[in-house]
Amino acid sequence: MSRLRLRQYSRAPIVSWLSILTALLTAASLLNAEPSAAEQRVAEAIKSQQLSVVHFWAPWCSNCQAELKDGGWIKIVKDNPNVHFYFVSVWNGGEDGTAMLRKFEITDQPNVTILADPGPRGQNHIKEFAGVPLSWIPTTWIYKGGDLRYALNYGEIRFSVLQQFLEDSQSEWSHKGEPKID
């Protein structure tokens, strides 16, 4: 009888180790996955000294739709011709949402690039883009010279705030030479 118990228990560690090994291999493959073409393109573009706005959205998202309906995006794109805007559709099965952006005249702007991340929608969707966590849409990031200046990560943007952030991002400032607080 003890032999039977020994066999019964001896299989459990093997199954347990196989489960752990499978989980580790899956995690390693996700960590080593090649970035999508959209992610590669954005990662290269945000290195520019020009301001870049990366806006993550999806056509099915009601918050994203609300931002488009109020005309804020087309106004800010037109008011800032020296800023490049990247509309990256995520969690949308690889579709870029061009049809919806066309309705709001965003597709025809010379300072707009429309991209799609092919990642799946749902529980296994991407959780990081260009090395920055991505957990909600819409999300809007502002870059200059490879530096993330502002990250608006949770919901609809107020365009007056975005405009102020764009203006603030143009300024050059430093704390060098300032006296330290004791």
Is the pLDDT at 18 greater than 90? The verdict is no
Q: Average the pLDDT over 147-164 and give the result.
A: 90
pLDDT band at 172; cut points 50, 70, 90: confident
Please indicate whether residue 30 or residue 134 has the higher confidence score (pLDDT): 134
* The pLDDT value given to residue 173: 66
Determine contact, residues 39/129, Cβ cutoff 8 Å.
Answer: yes
* DSSP H helical ranges for 32-177: 37-45, 62-69, 72-79, 98-103, 159-170
- Residues 6+ away with beta carbon under 8 Å from 119: 36, 90, 91, 94, 125, 126
The dihedral built from the CA positions of residue 117, 44, 155 and 162, taken in this order, carries a sign that is negative
Give the residues across from 66 on adjacent strands.
none
Whole-structure pTM value: 0.75
- Average pLDDT taken over every residue of the chain: 82
Which pLDDT band holds residue 26 (cuts at 50, 70, 90)? Answer: very low
Asked whether the predicted pLDDT for residue 121 surpasses 90, the reply is no
pLDDT at residue 160 is higher than 50: yes
Indicate whether 6 pLDDT > 90.
no
> Does pLDDT of 65 surpass 70?
yes
Percent of all residues in the chain with a pLDDT value above 90, rounded to a whole number: 53
pLDDT-wise least confident of 17-21, 23-27, 92-96, 157-161? 23-27
